[in-house]
Structures are given as C-alpha cells and as structure tokens.
Amino acid sequence: MRKVPSEDSGIRTQWRAERIGRLGLLIGLGWDVQTIAEDPLIKSTKWNVYRKAQRLGLSIQGAAMAMPLRLPTATIDQLRPHAERRNMTVQGLVKALTVIIAADPSLVDNVLDDQA
C-alpha cells in the first residue's frame, strides 16, 4: 500500500470499517466515483475507490445522466452547514436529497406544492 507523505493532502491509505461502510452507502445512493472520492470521509483518488469497490464486489455504475447544476450562492451558503454536519460536500448533499425526494412521488408533490 502506498503511503501518502503528508496529512495535508487529505488522501487516506487505510480502509477501515467506517470508511468501507460509507463507500457502500454512497455507491448505494448512486453517487459517481469522483464525488465519492471527494467525500470527506473517503478522501481518496477515484482509481482507489474503483479498486476498493471492485474488491468488495460493489459496482459503481456512475451517473446515469450528468446534469450540471448551478445553484445561487445564497442557496449553497444555506446548505453548507447541513452538508458539513454530515461530513458531505454541498454537491453530495444536493445529490443525496434529490435521490431521496425522487424515490417518493408524494414527497416530490409535497415539496413542490408547498412552494405556492
């Protein structure tokens, strides 16, 4: 296993239970490999994430549809504390929320109908 010389790089070298569990969760949520690699708990390269998932028998399909999303700065600022509390990026939080909401049609309706 290649050791990273500096803690500042943010790259980790050992896959402990908590990190493996997080990897499985993020793959299950449908996150793409680059976003998983950037997750604060994973902190790895996308190639290491691919290799670890393969060794665990997990399949990273990648995003079914890449959709660039530009959010207003104020929205990002509102989401940041929620993401940080969960050790996630804002992008990861938005993706997780979208997956959760999309899985429940009544939740989609409720969220959108409450906007009026």
Q: What is the pLDDT of residues 71-107, one digit of tens each?
A: 899 999 999 999 999 888 888 888 888 888 888 889 8
pLDDT band, very low/low/confident/very high, at 4 (cuts 50, 70, 90): very low
In angstroms, rounded to a whole number, what is the distance separating the alpha carbons of residues 53 and 99?
21
Lookup: tokens for 111: 């969220």
Place of tokens 């803690």: 7
Q: How far apart are CA 107 and CA 52, in angstroms?
A: 34
Higher pLDDT, 65 or 77: 77
Task: Please state, as a whole number, how many other Cβ atoms lie within 10 Å of the Cβ of residue 23.
Answer: 24
Separation of alpha carbons 77 and 16, rounded Å: 32
